[in-house]
Amino acid sequence: MSALLVGESVCKYFGGLRAVDDVSFTLGEGEILGLIGPNGAGKTTLFSVAAGSVPATRGRVLLDGKQVSGKSGHRSVHQGICRTHQIVRPFARLSVLDNVLVGHHYGRPGPGHGRPVDHAMGILDFIGLADRAHQLPGELTLAGRKRLEVARALATGPRVLLLDEVVAGLTPVEAQRFVELIRQIRDRGTSIVMIEHVMHAVMGVSDRVMVLDHGRQIAEGTPEQVVKHPQVIEAYLGRDDDEPNDHDEPTHGDGPMGAGDPASGQHAKEKPDA
């Protein structure tokens, strides 16, 4: 599998805080790479660097051999990389359809297949929002708004899609549908990096998983390898010498595969309404 997206020793410091600290990664063409790690690990910051919205302190990200980091967000979009936001950001006063048209308008210049509105409706149809095209984003459920966020990104025609917690906060049924959608997006030719705290979702759909903790990459491998990695278990559950004393309430009851564990299928963290 050839590397489409490459991160080379990416660092992003906010003053003395090393939000991303010397992280290197690759994403193959047609691959889904999961990106996990505890709160504040630097996942979203890595996306911001890769998508060009914040400059790296050091290092760089390349798409197909051309640098995408350190440029403005719209130039990165033109090069073929687009991210969604952890807190969804639709244009509240534009209809669902118009939101997608904005993505199309500012997206990667292409040969242009037919009318933009037909293209946008095609994406809404694929994403399952065609019947909501003329509603406002605020009329959608959280799952609908997350779908819209992905539709807007897809409308830019990305070769690489960065998904930031699109499953978190959804019901199990909605989450399962979203995972299926992510697979379909990949099958249609878009390579994906997905940040996710909903472990059964990210572990079920990812070809490989990379784990960050305190800005550092602590593990990378297949989902099966990563969930057994001692540093990953420690990052999520704490070290033995962090164990609660007799007075502490237990936070998980059934060992490394219990609730909150990367392998458990439980949510390490959920945001009720991003």
Ligand X SMILES: Nc1ncnc2c1ncn2[C@@H]1O[C@H](COP(=O)(O)OP(=O)(O)OP(=O)(O)O)[C@@H](O)[C@H]1O
Give contact residues for ligand X (rule: CB under 6 A): 14, 17, 19, 37, 39-45, 86
Give just the sign of the alpha carbon dihedral 242, 247, 249, 254.
Answer: positive
- Which is closer to Mg ion, CB of 44 or CB of 217? 44
- Which is closer to ligand X, CB of 59 or CB of 157? 59
Q: Which does 14 bind (CB under 5 to 8 A by kind): ligand X, Mg ion, none?
A: ligand X
Q: Which does 79 bind (CB under 5 to 8 A by kind): ligand X, Mg ion, none?
A: none
Nearest Cα neighbor of 216 from 46, 81, 48 is 46
| Site pattern 85..124 for Mg ion (x: CB under 5 A) | -x--------------------------------------
CB 178: neighbour CB atoms within 10 A?
23
- Token pair listed for 92: 């509240």
Amino acid at site 169: G
Rg of the chain taking only CA atoms, in angstroms? 19
- DSSP-derived pairing of the beta strands 160-164 and 81-83: parallel
User: CA–CA distance from 216 to each of 12, 136, 225 (Å)?
Assistant: 11, 40, 18
Residue 38 CB, nearest distance to ligand X (Å)?
Answer: 7
- Which is closer to ligand X, CB of 140 or CB of 162? 162
- Token pair listed for 160: 């690489």
Strand partners, 267: 198
**Is residue 206 within the footprint of Mg ion (CB under 5 A)?**
no
- Token pair listed for 31: 């691959």
- Which is closer to ligand X, CB of 46 or CB of 185? 46
Of 44, 76, 190, 206, the one binding Mg ion (CB under 5 A) is 44
Q: Which does 39 bind (CB under 5 to 8 A by kind): Mg ion, ligand X, none?
A: ligand X
How far does Cα 161 stand from its chain's mean position? 8
Nearest Cα neighbor of 134 from 150, 143, 121, 116 is 121
d(CA 152, CA 99): 6
- Which is closer to Mg ion, CB of 44 or CB of 191? 44
For tokens 């305190």, what's the residue?
A: 214
Residue 86 CB, nearest distance to Mg ion (Å)?
Answer: 5
Residues in 49-88 that interact with Mg ion by CB under 5 A: 86
Q: Which does 70 bind (CB under 5 to 8 A by kind): ligand X, Mg ion, none?
A: none
Residue 264 CB, nearest distance to ligand X (Å)?
Answer: 17
**Is residue 48 within the footprint of Mg ion (CB under 5 A)?**
no
- Which is closer to ligand X, CB of 46 or CB of 124? 46
Residue 252 CB, nearest distance to ligand X (Å)?
Answer: 18
Write out the residues near Mg ion by the rule CB under 5 A.
44, 86
